Structures are given as C-alpha cells and as structure tokens.
Amino acid sequence: MAVDTQLGVEIHISDINDNRPRFEHDEYPITIKESQRQGAFVMTVLARDLDKRGSPNSTIDYRIISTTPITQNAEFYMIENGTILFKGCLDYEKAQTYTIIVEAKDRGVPPLSSTCKVIINVEDMNNHFPIFTGHTGTGRVKERETGQTFLRVQVDDKDSRGTSAWKAKYTIHGDTGKNFQIETDSETNEGILSVVLALDFEEGSVRNLSISVENETPYFSCVVKEQPPRGPWKVDYFDSSSGQGGVVRSPMEKISVSVEDVNDPPEFVCPLGDVTVEENTEIGHLLETFIAVDKDKTFNDDFVYLKGSDPAGWVNVGPQDGKITTAKVIDRESDYVKNNTYTITLYAVSTGVPPMTGTATLNIHLTDQNDNVPKLESHMLTMCLSASVVNITAYDLDGDPYSGPFHFELLGDIKGRWRLDPSFGRTVNLIKEEAVYAGSHKLLLKISDAQGKFLQQNLTMTVCDCSTIPNCHARRVTSVIPGGGTVGIVIASLFLFLGVLLLVIFVSCGRHRTMFLVDPGSGATLLKSNIETPGTDCKVPDAQVIQNGRCHEAMSTQSNVKNSTFQQEVSESSCISQLRITIKYLISPAQHNFQHIMYSNTILN
C-alpha cells in the first residue's frame, strides 16, 4: 500500500552586508549668517541602508572626513544623528564658503560606506564699524538760504560693498533748530550735509555739530578667546540688536559750520495785528501802529513803511512811524468787507541794494451803525385782477439790531382799495380790495427798521385782467423795455401819419371851413388822469372830413365821447392861418407806449 506524504521546509536566508548606506543627495548646499552663534544648528544629513533593519548591516555611523578650508576661528563637528554644528566664530572675511565631506558607514562585515558633500556659504553680516576718513566741502553757509550742500563726509567699511552691512546711516547731533539734514550717497557711501531750515547769522555765526554713523544692519562681534579640547570654545560675543554682550558706541565726527551774514529784511515786532472800530469813523482816525526792526549786525540799512494791499483805499500808512490811519470813511456794508473784517498788508522796505522787504497784516474788525434804511426788493409788481394778495419784501444792509423785522405802512388815500396784513416782518402781504380795477396803481409805502429809521418809497402795482391777457407778467416784461427798433418804428409811423394829415389839409384847402374829427368809436380818447378808472387799449384814429361846417350823420351818435379829439379849423379868409394838432394816446400801462405827443406848427399863406 502506497502512502502520499507532504513535507514543509522553512528556509531562512541570512542577510549579508551587500548594500552600502546611501545619502538622499550627493551634495547639500546651505547658507548661514556670519553672526550665528556657536552651537547653533547648521543642518542634518541622512543616509539609508537597504540591509536588514536593526541589524549591524543597516546601522549607520556618521563622521566628518574633511573640512575645507581649515580656519582658526571656527570648527565644524557632527553628532550621531547626522546633525552638523560648529563652535567658535564665523568670519566672512576669512572664509566665505566651507566644503565638508561627510561619511556614512554601516557596521556590517565588511563595513560599507558612502560620502556626500556639504557646502556651507557664509552670509556677510555687520561685524565692522564704518570709520570716518575725512570730509570735503567749504563748511560755510549763507543765512536765510536752504537746499545748499556744503559738506560731504567719507567713511571706510570692510564689510561687503553694496550690502546692508556696508551701507552707512548717518545721524546729526547738536542741531537744536533742526536746520540741517544728512543723506547717504548710495554709490560712495558718503554723508551729504545740507541746510533744510534757514539759519540766522544774528543767532550765531558758528554751529557746532557731531555726526555719528552706523550701518543699516545691526552691528555684532565675535572673538575666540580659548579653544578647549572638549566642549564649546570660549568667545566674546556682542549683538547690538539684542543687547547681548554690553554696549558699543558708534563712531563720531565733529563738524563746525560757519554762517555768513547777508542783508536781512526788516522784521515786524508783531507781524499780525487786529483792531476793532466802528464803521463811518472819521477820516484820520488812528487804527494801529506797527514797529519794524533791522537786526543786521554787518548791514545796517534804513527802511520805510509802505502800504501793500488796501483794495478799497481806506487807509494811509506813515512812511517813517508805521502809523495806520483812516483815509476814507469805512463802510461795513462794502463788498470789500468779508465777515465784518477788512484786511490790509503793510511793508517795511529797506534802502539797501537789493532792497529787502518785511510784511505785516492788519485785520480791521468793523462794528455796525444804523446808516442804512430798509428798501424794497422790487418797486414794480404785477398781479391778476382775480387775485387778492401779493408779497412785498424789504431788505436792510445793516445787521441786527439795526435791520429787520420791519414795519410797513401804506400812505395816501388807499382806504377801501389796498391794505397790509400783516404789516410787520421782512415780507408782508399787500391785499387788494374789490374796488381796485385793472390798470397801473401808484402806492406810497413807509418802511421802518427795528430802530425806527424809515424811508418812504413808491410801489407801482400793475393789475391785469388775466382772463383776457394769458400772461400778465410776460406782457409787462416785454413792454417795459422796448428795443431800439421798436421805438424807431413808432416814431417813423407817427411822422408818416402827420404827413398824411398835412397832405389832406392842403388838398382840401378851400373857401369853406373844413373840420376833421377823429372817429370816437376807435377808442382813442383823451382820458382824465385818474388811476382808479379802468384803462383801455388804443387804436390809431381814423380821420373823417366834414364839409361846410356840418358833421357826418354817422358821427352825431358819438358826440358824447370825450376821450380823444383831433380838430383843425381853417378860416375862410386864408387857406390856412394856423394849424394845431393835438394827439393824445392813453393806453394801459402794461403796454407802456407813448402817452402824450404834441406837435404844433404854423403855416402861413
């Protein structure tokens, strides 16, 4: 009998050290600052081994094989996990780059290893103070001048040119008046000293200054004192940004600036004055006295006072004493017065060459007087016959308490026709009664201010029948101011009309008396001057000839019309002994045409 048998076999493969440790990169570049302190982390390098994990074949040891260059001030070392550190002080001027060869070796038999390269670039920092080497320029400035460069200072810095560790930053000390400014020339690193606020020779002919300099990057220093075989080295370290290691003062340079005297303008002791005075003050009144002085020590010029701005011409200025007096009556209500204040300027002008000028200003504050009366804003108003109220407004150039509210009063025979309600205020209501007809009405108003000062004024009221005149206001405006062409046409028409009448007279001249009458039906009548009776529009009259002293029958029915006449009589003994023509047009004031035209002439045989 056959037996089927299966046998399981486990085979254990023993690891041999057939893989070497490999770094992640063949080369590791890094940059560190020169000011970095010893013991600070630089970087960590890592290698991997594919042999059995945890066995000697995959256990890696790191070490630095070589460092280039070798310097006395710094030494790099490595700890077990592949981290690189240094002790001592980095110095950019001694080594800008370090190249370190790092080895990673396993513990297999035989051990295998590999290497990588670490490149450490040192960034230059500010471990050298800028040192003053001199200055160029005159060191002299003129008083009252600004913007002039008078001195350049030079420094030397051993840090890398163009870096923030090399660029100089200057500070001025002893400039109590803030007259000076110093800037850095970006190309040469020089300090450029200039005047930004004008100097005064009379305050001092010499200015003593001190200039300090530092770099844009804070200063540090590191000096190796001792190199023990184990542990960190002993160093002296200073960092101005953190204050570690004490205090180091920046270099200083003393500068003397000479101020040159020039001819100064006269200066007013008080360049701004204010005075309060009543308007209408008498001419010659003393307003203010200005005093100017000349502080020059080298130049001693005389000067005179002159008037500057005086737009209204209200003041005089004493050329020798600076006294300002009134030359005219000052009016508070003038357009030259703003917010009750009138401003003038005064000059003190020296007699030197060139002449120098000082300026002062005087504000004249004016108090009010009751020297104005209330006045109507408009002396001509219109209203429709159907309306009953129109507003009347008055104004007064004076201020309180010499202005409104005003008291209005109607004068004359206005009872039953016009009245005011109310009669007190700046604007009141003028009320028209039913007895008032269409036409032009002259009213007399008495308007008094709050102090009782008054003025009587005429007010022309035009009342229109707006049912027949669509736009009463427009008609009045267009009629009030006729154009030159309109007046010329009216005058030419008048002369043409008179010429026709004369022609008719000569043609009809005979032995019998002849009379010309104007057709009364035309409405051209001579009205009595009564503004309370309604007017009527006028038409050019038609002439009718009546022979033998008898009127045409058609005229007899109109003989009672009295409003307009045109009459001529010719005697039997002569063709024409005398001619008198009287024409009168009375048209409603809204049309504003001629009211009276008289033409007289005598024609002899």
Between the ranges 189-193, 474-478, 557-561, where is the mean pLDDT highest? 189-193
Q: Is the pLDDT of residue 356 over 50?
A: yes
Higher pLDDT, 280 or 506: 280
pLDDT given at position 564: 35
pLDDT given at position 288: 93
Measured at the CA of 116, the angle between CA 113 and CA 118, to 5 degrees, comes to 145
pLDDT given at position 314: 94
Higher pLDDT, 181 or 590: 181
Residues in the chain, overall count: 605
What the block records as the tokens of 119 is 């490149």
Q: Is the pLDDT of residue 81 over 80?
A: yes
At 600, the amino acid letter reads S
Report CA Rg, the chain.
57
How many secondary structure helices (H) and strands (E) does the chain include? 3, 41
pLDDT given at position 368: 83
Measured at the CA of 15, the angle between CA 11 and CA 16, to 5 degrees, comes to 135
pLDDT given at position 604: 31
Q: Is the pLDDT of residue 528 over 80?
A: no
pLDDT given at position 501: 80
- Is residue 196 within 8 Å of residue 180, measured between CB atoms? yes
What's the CA dihedral at 331, 337, 339, 342 to 10 degrees? -100
Between the ranges 107-116, 508-517, 593-602, where is the mean pLDDT highest? 107-116
Q: What are 357-414's pLDDT values in tens digits? A: 999 999 999 988 888 899 999 999 999 988 889 999 999 888 888 888 999 999 998 8
Backbone angles phi, psi at 556, to 5 degrees: -65, -30
Share of the chain above pLDDT 90, in %: 54
What the block records as the tokens of 175 is 């400039």
Distance CA 168, CA 156 (A): 9
Q: Is the pLDDT of residue 590 over 70?
A: no
pLDDT given at position 507: 56
Q: CA torsion sign, 431 to 433 to 434 to 439? A: negative
Q: What are 151-200's pLDDT values in tens digits? A: 999 999 999 999 999 999 999 999 999 999 999 999 999 999 999 999 98
Distance CA 325, CA 63 (A): 101
Q: What are 490-523's pLDDT values in tens digits? A: 677 788 888 778 776 665 554 444 444 444 444 4
Between the ranges 68-72, 514-518, 543-547, 583-587, where is the mean pLDDT highest? 68-72
Q: Mean pLDDT check: name the lowest of 177-186, 288-297, 574-583.
A: 574-583
pLDDT given at position 530: 44
Mean pLDDT, to the nearest integer, of 438-460? Answer: 92
Mean pLDDT, to the nearest integer, of 272-288? Answer: 92
Mean pLDDT over all residues of the chain?
A: 80
Distance CA 605, CA 577 (A): 7
- Is residue 85 within 8 Å of residue 39, measured between CB atoms? yes
Distance CA 431, CA 182 (A): 82
Residue 62 β-bridge partners: 104
pTM for the model: 0.48
Q: Helix, strand or coil for residue 178?
A: coil
User: Which residue ranges form the domains of the chain, and what is each CATH number?
Assistant: 22-123 (2.60.40.60), 131-260 (2.60.40.60), 267-367 (2.60.40.60), 375-478 (2.60.40.60), 484-601 (no CATH)
Mean pLDDT, to the nearest integer, of 464-469? Answer: 84
Which alpha helices (DSSP H) does 302-360 contain, by range?
A: none
Q: How far, in Å, are 31, 63, 68 from residue 34 at the CA level?
A: 9, 24, 17
pLDDT given at position 264: 78
Measured at the CA of 319, the angle between CA 313 and CA 324, to 5 degrees, comes to 50
Question: How many CB atoms are closer than 10 A to CB 187?
Answer: 7
What the block records as the tokens of 500 is 């026709």
pLDDT given at position 575: 33
Q: What are 16-63's pLDDT values in tens digits? A: 889 999 999 999 999 999 999 999 899 999 999 999 999 999 999 999
364 contacts: CB under 8 Å, gap ≥ 6: 275, 276, 277, 287, 330, 341, 342, 343, 344
Mean pLDDT, to the nearest integer, of 81-107? Answer: 95
Distance CA 209, CA 20 (A): 71
pLDDT given at position 245: 57
- Is residue 47 within 8 Å of residue 21, measured between CB atoms? yes
Band of the pLDDT at 485, cuts 50, 70, 90?
low
Extended beta strands in 157-271, E state:
168-173, 180-184, 191-195, 206-215, 220-226, 234-239, 252-260, 267-268
Q: Which residues of 506-520 are buried (b: 16+ CB within 10 A; e: fewer)?
A: eeeeeeeebbbbbbb
Distance CA 171, CA 157 (A): 17
What the block records as the tokens of 117 is 């390269």
Q: Is the pLDDT of residue 542 over 50?
A: no
